[in-house]
Amino acid sequence: MRDDPFNAPRLCRVVAFVLVFVLLGGSALATGPTRQQHYLPLVGTGGSRGIFGLELTRIEPSRGLDGVVALAPGWVRRGALSWSEVEPTPGTLRWDTPAIQALDAELMTATRLGLRVVLVIHGSPAWAVAPYRANCAPIAPEHFQAFASFVQQAVARYSAPPYNVRYWEIGNEPDAFVFDADAPFGCWGQKGETFYGGEAFGELLKVVYPAVKRANPSAQVIHGGLLLDRPYDPVTGEGQEARFIEGVLEAGAGDSFDILAYHSYSYYNGNPDGTLSTQDWKPGYLRGILARYGLEKPLFNTESALLCLEPSDACAQAQADAMGRLYVRALRDGIMGYIWYVYDSDSFRSTALVEPDQPTVRRPAFYAFAQARAALDDHRYHAAISGLPDGVEAHQLIAGSRTTIVLWANQATKVRLELGTAQELRCTEADSTPIACASDGSTLELTALPGPRYVNFRTP
């Protein structure tokens, strides 16, 4: 979980970017003539089951769990386990507080419903972070072992039935700079240090990782999702905070986490791609850093959404139009999981899929999430489709003998798709509404719209 960071320096960068993009007319994509089309094969990334995920404020019926079950996400993330709650004084761990009892009930509910939980550990006690004041601040090295002991007990407790937690995220946006107030994100970042405090976090992971594996060898340690506002520029020195992960690796902690998490938000600027545009730079950037250290790790986007600077019907519809785009691109980029933040709250720039005060009332993005998951379940990414009119984006995914093409454009644009020998043709809108469609021999004419359209067929 996170607070709205728009009181931080990133506000200036983000708002400036949004204003420039809008003023330049970034949302307009030209319509062009149909060109010769062919497929550009890429390395397949495996099936999509498990890609689609949600952050919940609480895993309980009052938060619209019926809707969550209907969506059948592969992941549910909860930022719910606070060290300070369990060990407010050194050496005395309490697993019977009201907050922990509530977490116990949530995790049992998740098990009963078949939800796979990513549990975030955060919130250090004051005695462990002194002389810092914030509960997200760096843990003092002399207390690393105490934190590891707490984590080991937590993993031993919650790995077993009836909780069955396997995925543990250590911290939340630890690369955020150190500040004074308690927060559910941050804050190990050290301005002025070469690696922005990452080395200290790496040293912590080196102590925690063996403790997790002692409790449960099959448990998966996820590096706390990186804020990663911008890439590091070695020429100008800008983006120093992006060197945090380098510091973790410089400390020799490359073998002290199983999965590398990051966060990637886009800000609505008049079109569903928002400020992030069509290609997220973060997966390639992180893989490049890992490769320099001889490492290859699964990447997990544990927070993502299209944010509304101001709530509006237009932004809510853009979130629905963005949903299928984001998940198709995640499959393209080989991401193991992609979590929308947050299912049942508007606390961070109006991203809820349901009405927070009435979770049984579902927003357009809810239905778009449902369609994307249902349409692409078990598919593997195969190819981007080229030779289309300007402004049209389309991708081909495969599940056994079935192929699904997902296409969209920011402006309505007629498209001719080459299907080859297609049987059992079905076309649907972004909200799963059927579209009348029929191929003419081996081709299909369809209009690409801002909301992704899904073309599914069987090949003999």
Residues 363 and 398 grouped into a single domain: no
Residues 279 and 167 grouped into a single domain: yes
Q: Are the beta carbons of 349 and 308 closer than 8 angstroms?
A: yes
C-beta atoms surrounding 249 within 10 Å: 20
Domain boundary among 355, 377, 399: 377
Domain boundary among 317, 342, 377: 377
Residues 369 and 413 grouped into a single domain: no
Residues 368 and 390 grouped into a single domain: no
Kindly state whether residue 120 falls inside one of the protein's structural domains.
Answer: yes
337: which 2 tokens?
Answer: 């999981």
Cα atoms found within 13 Å of the Cα of residue 49, Cβ hemisphere only: 4
Each of the 460 residues of the chain gets a pLDDT tens digit; together they read: 454 433 333 433 333 333 333 333 333 323 333 333 332 323 333 344 479 999 999 999 999 999 999 999 999 999 999 999 999 999 999 999 999 999 999 999 999 999 999 999 999 999 999 999 999 999 999 999 999 999 999 999 999 999 999 999 999 999 999 999 999 998 999 999 999 999 999 999 999 999 999 999 999 999 999 999 999 999 999 999 999 999 999 999 999 999 999 999 999 999 999 999 999 999 999 999 999 999 999 999 999 999 999 999 999 999 999 999 999 999 999 999 999 999 999 999 999 999 999 999 999 999 999 999 999 989 999 999 999 999 999 999 999 999 999 999 999 999 999 999 899 999 999 999 999 998 887 999 999 999 999 999 998 8
Q: For residue 10, what pLDDT is reported?
A: 41
> Long-range contacts for 213-217 (Cβ within 8 Å, ≥24 apart)?
214/152, 215/151, 215/152, 215/153, 215/155, 215/156, 215/159, 216/155, 216/156, 216/159, 216/166
The domain total for the chain is 2
Q: For residue 41, what pLDDT is reported?
A: 28
Return d(Cα 264, Cα 2) in angstroms, integer: 13
Kindly state whether residue 428 falls inside one of the protein's structural domains.
Answer: yes
Q: For residue 102, what pLDDT is reported?
A: 98
Residues 331 and 417 grouped into a single domain: no
Query: Per-residue DSSP letters for 237-260?
Result: ---GGGGHHHHHHHTT-TTS-SEE
By C-alpha distance, which of 418, 420, 407 is closest to 459? 420
C-beta atoms surrounding 101 within 10 Å: 11
Q: For residue 440, what pLDDT is reported?
A: 83
Residues 273 and 185 grouped into a single domain: yes
Kindly state whether residue 306 falls inside one of the protein's structural domains.
Answer: yes
Residues 218 and 255 grouped into a single domain: yes
Residues 389 and 364 grouped into a single domain: no
Residues 128 and 205 grouped into a single domain: yes
By C-alpha distance, which of 254, 313, 245 is closest to 282? 245
Residues 275 and 329 grouped into a single domain: yes
**Which CATH number covers residue 96?**
3.20.20.80
Q: For residue 2, what pLDDT is reported?
A: 52
Q: Range of 225's domain?
A: 10-29+48-377
Helices 144-159 and 198-215 meet at what angle, rounded to 10? Answer: 40
